[in-house]
């Protein structure tokens, strides 16, 4: 199904063993320096000095505030794999590079997605997961200054208990590649929208609020709603359809309740502050997130 291009890498182990981590009291720049010093002690790291410098200078501040040593190394390997892949003349520049690892014995997996940034990217990724009945438990969005995206997801089976299978990950990668291609493949578009016919009716109305105070640059869209297959896709697509750019996202699902905080800007890179725009956005999100009986 995947053809000759290896844009999906399966890793059945749990990744590098975690070492000591920098103190939580350090600033993001101090954490950066700590990680840089640690990586210099890794002679076996197959990343060039130039690649390290670009990553350290181009990743946003919130990345350094939360990344662990193991995920930093994994992220560097994933970006390296993506850039090496798209350097081939046979591989379209739109292709995604996906790397995943199991999380202990839980059956869940940790996924890294690397590709070029584009409008609606996160929504397409969420749709590909839901199309193969996988649920996004947690997600973080990181965009480098050079437009390389490194998004991380924690994925569970649709019921929160079934283990994620290699075939599901393979199918997800195939659908996502098709959704990101130019023009998109029809099969991917159809598969990524079918969750709307499978989702149960909503019993509780979603709670949506906006915060224009906490961030100096972005409007925070805060969503709380009963979790269901395709919920994140519906929220992200509604934001994309509103012409908004997603700068950062923190997705968290516990006890079947999704609490998502998504940082957005308008088409000119400014906050969404006009009351009429916020009212329109609230109505669009409520419509997208509500499943009628």
- In the sheet that holds 97-102, the strands lie side by side as 8-11, 97-102, 109-116, 148-157, 134-140, 245-254, 257-265, 219-226, 207-211
Tell me the domain boundaries of the chain: 8-195, 199-289
Chain length of the chain = 293
- For the whole prediction, is pTM greater than 0.85? no
Instruction: Specify burial of residue 279 (Cβ count, 10 A radius: 0-12, 13-18, 19+).
Output: exposed
Report angle CA 253, 220, 228 to the nearest 5 degrees: 25
pLDDT tens string for the chain (293 positions)?
A: 344 344 565 555 554 444 578 887 899 999 999 999 988 887 777 889 999 999 999 999 989 998 999 999 999 999 999 999 999 999 998 999 999 999 877 788 999 999 999 888 888 898 899 888 888 888 888 999 999 999 999 898 876 667 898 999 999 999 999 989 888 887 777 776 666 655 555 667 889 999 999 999 999 999 999 888 788 888 999 999 999 988 888 878 787 788 999 999 998 889 999 999 999 999 999 998 887 65
- pLDDT score of 184: 82
Distances from the Cα of 250 to the Cα of 4, 62, 86, 174, angstroms: 34, 11, 28, 25
CATH architecture of structural domain 199-289: 2-Layer Sandwich (3.30)
């Amino acid at each position: 199904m995947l053809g000759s291009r290896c844009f999906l890498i399966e890793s059945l182990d749990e990744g590098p063993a975690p070492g000591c981590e920098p103190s939580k009291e350090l600033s993001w720049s101090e954490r950066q320096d700590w990680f840089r010093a640690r990586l210099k002690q890794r002679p076996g790291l197959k990343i060039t000095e130039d690649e390290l410098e670009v990553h350290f200078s181009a990743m946003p501040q919130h990345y350094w505030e939360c990344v662990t040593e193991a995920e930093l190394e994994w992220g560097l390997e994933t970006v390296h794999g993506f850039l090496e892949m798209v350097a081939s003349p046979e591989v379209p520049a739109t292709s995604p590079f996906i790397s995943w690892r199991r999380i202990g014995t839980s059956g869940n997996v940790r996924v890294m997605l690397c590709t070029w940034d584009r409008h609606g990217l996160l929504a397409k990724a969420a749709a590909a997961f839901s199309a193969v009945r996988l649920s996004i438990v947690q997600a973080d969005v990181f965009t480098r200054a050079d437009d390389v995206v490194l998004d991380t997801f924690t994925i569970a089976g649709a019921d929160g208990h079934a283990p994620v299978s290699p075939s599901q990950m393979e199918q997800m990668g195939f659908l996502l590649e098709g959704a990101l291609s130019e023009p998109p493949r029809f099969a991917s578009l159809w598969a990524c929208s079918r969750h709307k016919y499978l989702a149960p009716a909503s019993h509780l109305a979603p709670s949506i609020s906006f915060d224009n105070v906490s961030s100096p640059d972005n409007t925070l869209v805060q969503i709380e709603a009963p979790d269901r297959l395709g919920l994140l896709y519906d929220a992200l697509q509604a934001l994309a359809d509103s012409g908004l750019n997603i700068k950062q996202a923190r997705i968290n699902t516990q006890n079947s309740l999704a609490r998502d905080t998504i940082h957005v800007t308008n088409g000119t890179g400014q906050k969404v502050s006009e009351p009429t725009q916020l009212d329109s956005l609230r109505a669009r999100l409520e419509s997208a997130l509500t499943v009628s009986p």
